[in-house]
Amino acid sequence: EVQMVESGGGLVKPGGSLRLSCAASGFSFRGAWMSWVRQAPGKGLEWVARIRSKIDGETTDYGAPVKGRFSISRDDSKDKLYLQMNSLKTEDTAVYYCATEGLASQNNWGQGTLVTVSA
């Protein structure tokens, strides 16, 4: 069974940093492209970032609101996906989901981890 479990969320002050992790199982992680998607309280879904597999160059893409502040990475030896979040703003408060990339879509999702940015 495909499973993703996010962790690392919590309360952080504006300007601070946080690193989220996503532990994957039940599929070949090293061959998978992966994304982070978030949902702010009372708002809709917003795509955050994507990373390709190592064999496809391990290149990355970012949504405009987080470009230059967030960094997505992966450790295929541990079947883990990461999101390093720097210079956090109150508007980054959200539940963050990791997901596998399907055909121009995300086809398997975790349950999410809550990040709260507040003074």
By CB under 8 A, name the binding residues for another protein.
4, 35, 37, 44-47, 50, 61, 63-64, 97, 99, 102-112
Shortest distance in whole angstroms from residue 105 CB to another protein = 4
Shortest distance in whole angstroms from residue 2 CB to another protein = 11
Which sign, positive or negative, has the C-alpha torsion 88, 94, 100, 105? Answer: negative
Closer residue to another protein, CB minimum distance, 18 or 22: 22
Nearest to 83 by CA among 42, 36, 33: 36
The helix/strand/coil state of 58 is: coil
Q: Are 83 and 89 in contact (CB under 8 A)?
A: no
Shortest distance in whole angstroms from residue 35 CB to another protein = 8
Shortest distance in whole angstroms from residue 31 CB to another protein = 18
Which sign, positive or negative, has the C-alpha torsion 98, 99, 100, 103? Answer: negative
